[in-house]
Amino acid sequence: QAQLVESGGGLVQAGGSLRLSCVASERTFSTYTMGWFRQAPGKEREFVAAIFRTYGRTYYGDSVKGRFTISRDNAKTTIYLQMDNLKLEDTALYYCAADRGLILSSIQRPDQYDYWGQGTQVTVSS
């Protein structure tokens, strides 16, 4: 089974940038759908971005379109989340997630992902 480890979070001023990384232990990493989710205190887990398993197409939540970019390096079994123009409302615990068989219409649903990392904290200040 896949194990996921996130890194790259930290404290950044509004308007700044961070790049998150998620390393997967699974050798067949390239066959998995990979996603990023985030959760702030008192709020539901929110879809951020994902790469679909079949075609490698990318998808983004409305709140981050144009600012965040998801990418993958299959040789390193790693996905990245480049976050630019960070806003105060981006403050959250960011999770990496993976699944082998979810369908495209379910790509934004946290309950459809079988594997999760421990999370990495992103805090945006003014």
pLDDT tens sequence across 49-96? 999 987 789 999 999 999 999 999 988 999 999 999 999 999 999 999
pLDDT score for 55 = 76
Confidence of residue 110 (pLDDT cuts 50, 70, 90): very high
pLDDT score for 56 = 85
The whole-number average pLDDT for the span 31-44 is 95
Chain position carrying tokens 């079988």: 114
Query: Cα separation of 107 and 92, whole Å?
Result: 20
SS3 40: coil
Lowest mean pLDDT of 6-10, 34-38, 74-78, name the range: 74-78
Query: Cα separation of 34 and 14, whole Å?
Result: 27
SS3 18: strand
Instruction: Look at the alpha carbons of 6, 96, 46, 111 in this order and tell me if their dihedral is positive or negative.
Output: negative
pLDDT score for 117 = 96
Q: Compute the C-alpha angle 40/56/22, nearest 5°.
A: 40
Phi-psi region of 89 (alpha: psi -120 to 50; beta: other; left: phi over 0): alpha
Query: Cα separation of 5 and 73, whole Å?
Result: 15
